[in-house]
Each structure stands twice: as C-alpha cells, then as structure tokens.
Amino acid sequence: MSKPWSSLCQRLALIFIGAALLGWMADRLTLALLLAALGELAWQLWQLYRLDRWLNRDPDASLPGSGLVWREVAAHTARLRRQSRKRKRKLSRLLQQFQQATAALPDAAVVLDEEGRVVWCNGASQLLLGLAPGRDIGLPITHLLRHPGFVAFLNGQNPQRDGDSVEFPSPVDDHLLLGARIVPYGKKQRLLVVTDISRVRRLEQMQRDFVANVSHELRTPLTVITGYLETLLDSDSVVLDNWRQPLRCMQQQSSRMLHIIEDLLMLARLESQKERLSHRPVAIPALLADIADDALALSGDSSHRIEVHADPGLWIRGCEKELHSAFSNLVFNAVRYTPVEGQIEIRWWADSGGIHLAVTDNGEGIAPQHLPRLTERFYRVNRDRSRGSGGTGLGLSIVKHVLNHHGSQLRITSELGAGSVFTCDFPLELRVEPEPAPARFGTAYR
Ligand code: ADP
C-alpha cells in the first residue's frame, strides 16, 4: 500500500479508536462512533470541494488538500494537466505548420467525408475551385463542382484516360485546365487533390504542333525527292549505270522518311482533340479482307500463310480510316516479324466480354520485359531488325491511340521464339447492324 493510503488508514484507525474509548467511557459508544464518522465524512467532503474548486477555477494556484491522499490526487492531476497542456501546445504547433504548408501548396486539397461532403479545404481550393472554407464546409462537393466528368470520376466511373485522375476546366476560370486525383485515407475519408495542368497541357500541345508542322513541311520536299529518284531509277540511260546502287539506297531511305512523316502526321491527328473524324458503321470483315490481301503482297516471296476468320455480320461503329490503319499495322507487323512460311491468323468475333480482333503469328515473339513499352513511340525491340523491315517504330503507338478513340484496349501476349498475339478489345456497345450490302466472306485461306 502506498504511503498516503497507509497514513490515511492509520488516521482513521486513531480517530475511531479514540472515539470508541471516549464513547465507552461516557457510555455512548454508538453516538461517539457516529459523530467520528460524520466528522471524517465532513472533512473529506471539504477536501473534495477544495479540489473541485482548484480544478475548475484556478489551476495555477498551489495544490489543495491537507490530507496526504488528497495532495497525492491533486499532484497527480496537476502532472496530467501539465502533460496535456504540453501535448496541446505541440499539436497546435503541428497544426499551424500543417496549415501553413497547405496554404503554401499550389494544389487545391479538399478533405471529403464518406458522403462526399467537404470537411476541410486549403487556400488554393479557393483560387482553383472557388471553394470558400467558411461557406462550403459540410456541402456535397458535387453541388460545388458540377462538371459531368468530375462527378462520374467521384462516383468511380471515370470516362477519361486512366482511372486515376480526371481533367476538367476550372469553375472559376475557363482557361485553367485542372487535373484531380482522389486519395482515400483514415475512416472512409478522401483527400481530393486538384492541380493546375494548363501549362503542362499547353507545352504538350506546342510539342505536338511542332512535330506536326515539321512533318507537314518536310512531306512535300521529300515527296518531290522520292519522285525524282524513282524517275532516275526507271531511266535506261547508261550515264546512270554507276549510280544505280546509290540511287536505290537514296530512294529506300527517302521512302522510309516519308513513312515516318506519314506516321507522325497520323499520330498528331489522333492526338489532336479538335480534329475528330466522325464515326460510322464499318464493315470490319471486308476491311480485314483488304488488309489480308495487302499483307499477302507485303509477304511476297516469304510465302506466309494468312488466315482470316471473321464473323461476317459483325460490324462496329467507328472511324474506318483509323481502324484500317490500326489493324493493318498489327497484320503487317505479324508479316514482318514472322519468318518465311510462317502462320498468321486474323480473328474477328464477339462474345459476352466484348468484340475482339486477334492477330496471331508463330514468329520470333517478344521477351516479357519489352511488352509494357511496345506502344511507346520509337520503341523497338531490335532497332536494326525494325529498320531493315521498313518499320518506323510508330505502328503500335498509332494502334493504341486509335483504340483509345474507340474506347478500346490493346492486349499483347507473346513468347520468345513461339509467336505473339495482339488483341484489340472493343466494347459491345460499338456493335451495329450490317448495312444492306453482301458480306464478302467468312473464312478465307490465302
Ligand atoms: P516498328 O515499325 O518498329 O515495327 P511498332 O510500333 O509497330 O514499330 O512495333 C514496335 C516493336 O514491337 C517492333 O520494333 C518489334 O520489335 C515489336 N513487334 C511488333 N509486332 C511484333 C510481332 N508481331 N512479333 C514480334 N515483335 C513485334
């Protein structure tokens, strides 16, 4: 037992023994014990009252309580109070630092509760989103930011690019383009972080415009050079006999440059938001038949076996020019990266998971570490091999952009030495009824 408690027990024992002795001598034992108990109770109540006053009114005054137990309780309470005051000071310092940091943030930060109501927001959210901390706390964020893309994103249905972020114009200034991300934390709370991405997008646009303009400017002189080189090569003049080999080499290189420029222009057009070609019903089976014919011509003496298995009634709504470019890139790649007499299969079908185009080859295949990067511009597994077969390094990048335009995705599976499968997955909503024209074929062997 601690010292204050043992001294309290001793004191109580002394009081009651003394009272019992006095009561016994006066023949009033019960009354003496009762008076002693009442006196002790009154004294303890008085100590309690002093402690209460000290706690409520004057925490800095000297410790109350004349009894050791009460002094101990008061000292313990004072210690806890000091610790709590210290903790409070530390927390408010941290809070102040946090508020200063978030106020200095160029990004808007908004804390949302489970129902999407604003719990807290920083200074930048006023500038970028027009939120006012005093006025908007407790209001649903979708009442304050009504852009349909943002609302869909908040509800977990992101119609844009990747699922991680959404872009929308600032409600304060139409010229500002904002990028928003949601970070879940704590007990079902969410932190909405909104960044001004206008400058980045402007720079990207400038870069795209520059590439498009340069490509456009180079196309005409290169077409002229290629034309003249062809004319020279067609000529029977003996003067040119010593020049045929260099001329052939020059013609090959200039037509390669023309291909790169055509692909860069195609990419620039695909990336441009302004220039969207209209979507119409496209007879994919007929399109695939044309591509297979071209692929056979490209194969030439390599004698690839090209099979097309296409559902003749399966048409989709899309941009024919873009789809032709994407599908032919996949099929021509299969021809270029599959050795002589290799097998290439083109399949076009629909199932409950969507509409699919798969181009399968039994060619050289691709090592797994290259797969995630194949759709980057100018990414090639083997630069010399790609150049040698007339590649530009832009084909799969074009495929990815075209599929993005159609709300679709590219899947690549490959095994080194065994072959590759490039699959385009289209949503079922793109399916349309074929227009009244005879379907050209179902299954064809070439
Ligand atoms: P390229 O013009 O070089 O073919 P692409 O963007 O079309 O550029 O393809 C990128 C790279 O992916 C190619 O360089 C090649 O290494 C690889 N690749 C594409 N298709 C195939 C395929 N069917 N089989 C093996 N490798 C392929």
What is the CATH number that goes with domain 280-432?
Answer: 3.30.565.10
Look at residues 366, 349, 332, 360 and name the one whose alpha carbon lies nearest to residue 422: 360
pLDDT tens digits for range 47-56: 888 888 887 7
Lowest mean pLDDT among 240-254, 269-283, 296-310, 395-409: 269-283
Contact yes or no for 226/262 (Cβ under 8 A) = no
Superfamily per CATH, domain 105-196? PAS domain (3.30.450.20)
- Over residues 305-317, the mean pLDDT reads 96
Look at residues 36, 31, 71 and name the one whose alpha carbon lies nearest to residue 51: 71
Residue type, 307: E
Highest mean pLDDT, choosing among 34-48, 257-271, 324-338 = 324-338
Cα of 3 vs centre of ligand 1, distance in Å, is: 86
Q: Which residue has the least CA distance to atom 18 on ligand 1?
A: 333
Provide the pairing of β-strand 108-112 with 177-185. unpaired
Pocket test for ligand 1, best of 325, 327, 366 (most atoms within 8 A of CB): 366
The torsion angles phi and psi of 432, rounded to 5 degrees, stand at -130, 160
The whole-number pLDDT of residue 63 equals: 64
Cα–Cα distance, 95 to 105 (Å, whole number): 15
Asked whether the predicted pLDDT for residue 354 surpasses 90, the reply is yes
Task: Give CA 252 to chain center in angstroms.
Answer: 42
Asked whether the predicted pLDDT for residue 270 surpasses 90, the reply is no
Asked whether the predicted pLDDT for residue 86 surpasses 80, the reply is yes
Q: Which residue has the least CA distance to atom 2 on ligand 1?
A: 391
3-class SS shares of the chain: helix, strand, coil, % to 5: 55, 20, 25
Cα–Cα distance, 332 to 304 (Å, whole number): 11
pLDDT band, very low/low/confident/very high, at 423 (cuts 50, 70, 90): very high
Ligand 1 atom closest to the Cα of residue 390 is: 2
Highest CATH level, class, for 200-271: mainly alpha
Look at residues 435, 246, 418, 278 and name the one whose alpha carbon lies nearest to residue 338: 418
Strands (E), 170-224: 177-185, 189-196
The whole-number pLDDT of residue 277 equals: 65
Cα of 275 vs centre of ligand 1, distance in Å, is: 27
pTM for this predicted structure: 0.67
Asked whether the predicted pLDDT for residue 161 surpasses 80, the reply is no
Pocket of ligand 1 (CB under 6 A): 329, 333-334, 337, 361, 363-364, 366, 374, 379-382, 386, 391-397, 420
Cα of 354 vs centre of ligand 1, distance in Å, is: 25
The whole-number pLDDT of residue 163 equals: 61
Contact yes or no for 324/284 (Cβ under 8 A) = no
The whole-number pLDDT of residue 239 equals: 84
Q: Is the dihedral of CA 24, 30, 34, 40 positive or negative?
A: positive
Question: 73 in helix, strand or coil?
Answer: helix
Q: Which residue has the least CA distance to atom 16 on ligand 1?
A: 381
Contact yes or no for 137/162 (Cβ under 8 A) = no
Cα of 372 vs centre of ligand 1, distance in Å, is: 12
- pLDDT above 90 covers what percent of the chain? 59
pLDDT band, very low/low/confident/very high, at 445 (cuts 50, 70, 90): very low
Query: In a 10 Å sphere around its CB, with 0-12 CB exposed, 13-18 middle and 19+ buried, how is residue 26 labelled?
Result: exposed
Lowest mean pLDDT among 23-27, 37-41, 386-390: 386-390
Asked whether the predicted pLDDT for residue 446 surpasses 50, the reply is no
Lowest mean pLDDT among 223-232, 384-393, 415-424: 384-393
Pocket test for ligand 1, best of 327, 386, 412, 415 (most atoms within 8 A of CB): 386
What ranges in 337-423 are assigned the alpha helix state H?
383-388, 395-405
Look at residues 365, 379, 354 and name the one whose alpha carbon lies nearest to residue 431: 354
Asked whether the predicted pLDDT for residue 274 surpasses 70, the reply is no
Contact yes or no for 190/181 (Cβ under 8 A) = no
- Over residues 324-339, the mean pLDDT reads 95
pLDDT tens digits for range 164-217: 889 999 999 888 999 999 988 887 889 999 999 999 999 988 988 898 899 999
Pocket test for ligand 1, best of 302, 374, 424 (most atoms within 8 A of CB): 374
Q: Which tokens hold the place of 158? A: 């992101």
Ligand 1 atom closest to the Cα of residue 419 is: 24
Question: 271 in helix, strand or coil?
Answer: helix
Ligand 1 atom closest to the Cα of residue 382 is: 16
Lowest mean pLDDT among 30-39, 41-50, 308-317, 422-431: 41-50
The whole-number pLDDT of residue 58 equals: 62
Pocket test for ligand 1, best of 396, 399, 400, 423 (most atoms within 8 A of CB): 396
Q: Which residue has the least CA distance to atom 20 on ligand 1?
A: 333
The whole-number pLDDT of residue 268 equals: 87
Cα of 333 vs centre of ligand 1, distance in Å, is: 6
Average pLDDT of every residue of the chain: 88
Cα–Cα distance, 88 to 92 (Å, whole number): 6
Element (H, E) at 285: helix 284-299
